[in-house]
Homo-oligomer: A and B are copies of this chain.
């Protein structure tokens, strides 16, 4: 540890010069219907305000990762819109998956391309559709994590201190203290725990030894490739296909071939949970995965009546309502409570805040009715 802290200045600069960001933008998601649809998933929407979620994700990498070291993995159907929303991204940095195969193939593919560009590359992998209310704290964590990844052959996961006994997230159990960079302490991972039952979640929350898995990872490109080779050898073999690096259509055809064969599996389940060299970097940065419309009430400051409005609304004599009317007709509320109301040009959603998680039921019902145009 002394060595690390002593050499900090020069090593930090070296690590950061090799830091590449990989934004995972493959999500489809119906939980933000009617704003999100198959054509426009959550990460491409202005759910919170002026910028889309992928734009906010890219914005908060500045100045840590300049745009020439940012990569985006997305699907065919969203590539054009991603490029439009991130105009400084060069086309070579947009990795277009022919079909969704969960996070392990996406990260493996990015590692292959990035390692070809920079053999010393450190990758920070991050979802395109989360909110971070304290970007400075987030950047300090990334800087520390990049240095740790430069010096140690480990897979680092950002861990968010729980603020409630949430049963919907994955938890990381903290083990022995492993390292410290710029005041940020990293720990060995004692275990990953997927979505616990409520008693277990309450215990994790009370114990203080568990963190939420925010889906943000740091590692050297070469290390994640080694770990994929160890735990997902089939995927590693496919990703070694030399044709993948061909330019233009030939590379795209090779990728389509590879993706027909690779398993659909998450990096958490496929690699992290099986790896022996995982660290966790706890960071309190106001993280929110914005999992449903009810998150509007967590990531925006409500008015004195508890109401949150994105877009234009007239709200009279109402309390604790969440309104999104930025892309549809004005919303006018009188005398209602605890509702989510979302308007778009095509559809209007009204449901209780407590049931915002169930919005997919409406999407399923519309699908049954053959209203694919709306979903």
Interface residues, chain A, with chain B CB atoms under 8 Å away: 33-34, 314, 316, 325, 328-336, 339, 341, 343-352, 355, 358-359, 361-362, 365-366, 369, 371, 374
Q: Determine the distance from Cα of A244 to Cα of B371 in the docked complex, in whole angstroms.
A: 56
25 A-B residue pairings within 8 Å (CB atoms): A33-B332, A34-B332, A314-B362, A314-B365, A314-B369, A316-B361, A325-B348, A329-B343, A329-B344, A329-B346, A329-B347, A330-B348, A330-B374, A331-B347, A331-B350, A332-B350, A332-B362, A334-B350, A334-B351, A334-B355, A334-B358, A334-B359, A336-B351, A343-B348, A350-B350
Contact between B330 and A352 (Cβ–Cβ < 8 Å)?
no
Q: Determine the distance from Cα of A329 to Cα of B33 in the docked complex, in whole angstroms.
A: 13
Rounded to whole Å, the gap between the CB of A71 and the closest CB of chain B is: 37
Contact between A345 and B316 (Cβ–Cβ < 8 Å)?
no
The oligomer's copy count stands at 2
Contact between A362 and B331 (Cβ–Cβ < 8 Å)?
no
Q: Which of B331, B336, B346, B361 contacts A330 (CB 8 A)?
A: B346
Q: Determine the distance from Cα of A334 to Cα of B293 in the docked complex, in whole angstroms.
A: 13
Q: Determine the distance from Cα of A361 to Cα of B339 in the docked complex, in whole angstroms.
A: 20
Given known contacts A314-B366, A316-B365, A362-B316, is B351 in contact with A333 (CB within 8 Å)?
yes
Q: Which residues of B contact A343 (CB under 8 A)?
A: 329, 343, 348
Q: Determine the distance from Cα of A191 to Cα of B63 in the docked complex, in whole angstroms.
A: 82
Contact between A348 and B336 (Cβ–Cβ < 8 Å)?
no
Given known contacts A328-B329, A329-B329, is B334 in contact with A361 (CB within 8 Å)?
yes
Q: Which residues of B contact A344 (CB under 8 A)?
A: 329
Question: Of all chain B residues, which has the CB nearest A341?
Answer: B350
Q: Determine the distance from Cα of A34 to Cα of B330 in the docked complex, in whole angstroms.
A: 10
Q: Which residues of B contact A333 (CB under 8 A)?
A: 350-351
Q: Determine the distance from Cα of A316 to Cα of B330 in the docked complex, in whole angstroms.
A: 24
Q: Determine the distance from Cα of A142 to Cα of B273 in the docked complex, in whole angstroms.
A: 82
Contact between A350 and B366 (Cβ–Cβ < 8 Å)?
no
Contact between A335 and B314 (Cβ–Cβ < 8 Å)?
no
Q: Which residues of B contact A34 (CB under 8 A)?
A: 329, 332
